[in-house]
Structure 1
Amino acid sequence: MTVNPGHTFARIAIVTVSDRASGGQYEDLSGPAVEQWLRRAVAQPCEFVRRIVPDGVESVRNALLQLCDKDDIDLVLTTGGTGPAPRDLTVEATHQVLTKELPGFGELMRRVSLEQVPTAILSRQTAGVRGRSLIINLPGKPASIGICLAAVFPAVPYCLELIGARKMAEALPDSGA
């Protein structure tokens, strides 16, 4: 897949996975937390695309396929659906669309999260590549999002470069991200 010449900035999709948020039963706090963190961490302009989908393999898989294969997205960050509850199926959906898994992302997110809360061991985050898109599963709790992103984000620009996505420059470490 080639990069669309009409898009000059990196395109980042944030997918909130939640039955209640997608149904309007409560406000999505996770998606905005991801975007706010990224706006501080990315050194150049980028375009954000936001989606809220219900829990479940099919809904998440379909969103990921649309974003990666049709919407020309470089980085897809999901939030939610990574725990052990019966409806937490984001990881299963992600596995169905990945062409290459990058387990180090999930390993590092769990390690840094365990320094904060002992229940982080229940998390099942993963990451991987589909075409020229990098997909990363983040936790659903806004407080945990920054911890996980701070840990893995230094590898993101280089990974995007390796898979042929648009370049993304990380902000300087003192940027407050």
Structure 2
Amino acid sequence: MFRTVIICMSDKGAKGEREDLSTKIIEKIALENGYKIIKKILIPDEFELIKETLKNICDNNEADLILTTGGTGFSKRDVTPEATLEVIDKVIPGIPEAIRAYSMTITKRAMLSRAAAGIRKNTLIINMPGSPKAVEESLSFIIDSLTHGLEILVGTSSECARK
């Protein structure tokens, strides 16, 4: 059971002006796939706050996986990928590439995503879309492969070769 933290970056959500539906969807999919939700966090789109939140969770070994939602678009306030890239030790480009490729079969707007993914210490961080529909499609698409990657990361599996 992988320890998972969900972080929503939303100025309006943090002010109570918008309901955070994406976190609920992430939580549902994660629980259905045997992941344990450690905590859910809702913060504004503030670069330093995002960085510090990610670093604290990783550096204190609170989670195996952090799934963020929001802050990956073109708005001047969308800084989640930049904050993520600043704190990770290893970039994992294949995850956001796979999400974008799959999402392009649904909508051409998927090319506008700036999401990133990577590892800090023993924690995988993945930026998910902010849209509830897009986050459901994206996470449902990658969840099976994520499980294998996390098994490798936490040391419960060492084999990547197909049998």
TM-score, scaled relative to structure 1 = 0.83
Instruction: Tell me the CA shift for residue 138 of structure 1.
Output: 0.2
Match of residue 65, structure 2, among 72, 75, 79 = 75
Query: In the alignment, is residue 60 of structure 1 matched against residue 50 of structure 2?
Result: yes
C-alpha displacement at 1:56, in angstroms? Answer: 2.3
The gaps in structure 1 that reach 5 residues or longer are 1-8, 168-177
Structure 2 stretches of 5 or more lacking a match?
158-163
User: Could you give the per-residue CA deviations for residues 27-64 of structure 1, whole angstroms, max 9, x where no partner exists?
Assistant: 1111111101212222xx62331000110211111111
Asked if 1:22 is matched to 2:14, the reply is yes
Number of equivalent positions: 157
Write the distance in 2 (CA, Å) between the matches of 1:160 and 1:41: 13
**Over residues 53-103 of structure 1, what are the superposed CA-to-partner deviations in whole Å (9 max), with x where a residue is unaligned?**
110211111111111112521100000000111111000000011100100
Q: Is the 8 A contact 2:27 2:37 kept in 1?
A: no
Residue deviations 1:137-156 (CA, integer Å, cap 9, x gap): 00000001121112222221
Alignment-mate amino acid for residue 80 of structure 1: G
Kindly provide the amino acid, as one letter, of the partner of residue 118 in structure 1. K
Change (3 A) 1:122 1:131: same
Residue 79 of structure 2 aligns with which residue? 89
1: CA distance, partners of 2:58 / 2:18: 27
Amino acid at match of 2:28: Q
- Offset at 1:164? 2.1
What is the alpha-carbon distance in structure 2 between the residues aligned to residue 57 and residue 64 of structure 1? 11
**Compared with structure 1, are the counterparts of its residues 79 and 166 closer, same or farther at alpha carbon in structure 2 (3 Å cutoff)?**
farther
Give the superposed CA RMSD: 1.6
Q: Which one has more relative contact order, counting CA pairs under 8 Å at least 6 apart? A: 1
- Cα distance in 1 for residues equivalent to 2:7 and 2:62: 15
**C-alpha distance after superposition, 1:100-128 (max 9, x if no partner):** 01000011111111111111110011211
TM normalised by structure 2 equals 0.89
Q: Is the contact made by 1:123 and 1:139 (CA closer than 8 Å) also made in structure 2?
A: yes
Distance in 2 between the 1:81 and 1:165 partners? 31
